[in-house]
Amino acid sequence: MAFVSFQNKKYSESEKYFRIAANMIPIITQDPSLIFNSQKNLLTFYTHTNLDKAQDQVNKIRKDIEDSNFLPVHERELNLMEANICLLKEDFVSSKTLYRNALTMPNDDL
């Protein structure tokens, strides 16, 4: 429903469904990949619609990464997504730093 609403340009409805999914998945499963992906979907939505909310979502996911057992690949992906957000906000210094951090993460942890 979230993706269909987004495609139909019903952004407030789409946000509601993405939020519901992001909030419900941790109740349904403890799988860190599924939890991260549901939060990433909401982040992707915000990246398209509201960069300030996207940055808030990044901060929330970062806190969740610190508090739980997300995989290193999730942190790398989050760095890349945050770098994209900084690039869209024309914060080139932060974007460059985040891209470098993501690219220098050891591959054996992924």
Domain count, the chain: 1
Specify the amino acid at residue 56.
Answer: D
Q: Grade residue 71 by pLDDT with cuts at 50, 70 and 90.
A: confident
**Mean pLDDT, the chain, integer:** 91
Q: What is the DSSP letter of 53?
A: H
- What CATH number corresponds to the domain at position 13? 1.25.40.10
C-alpha 74/C-alpha 29 separation (Å) is 17
**Residue 108: its pLDDT value, please?**
55
Q: What percent of the chain has pLDDT over 70?
A: 96
Name the residue range of residue 78's domain: 2-109
pLDDT digits (tens, 9 = 90+) for 35-65: 999 999 999 999 999 999 999 999 999 998 8
State the DSSP string of 26-52: HHH---HHHHHHHHHHHHHHHHHH-HH
Q: Token digits for 36?
A: 């991260």
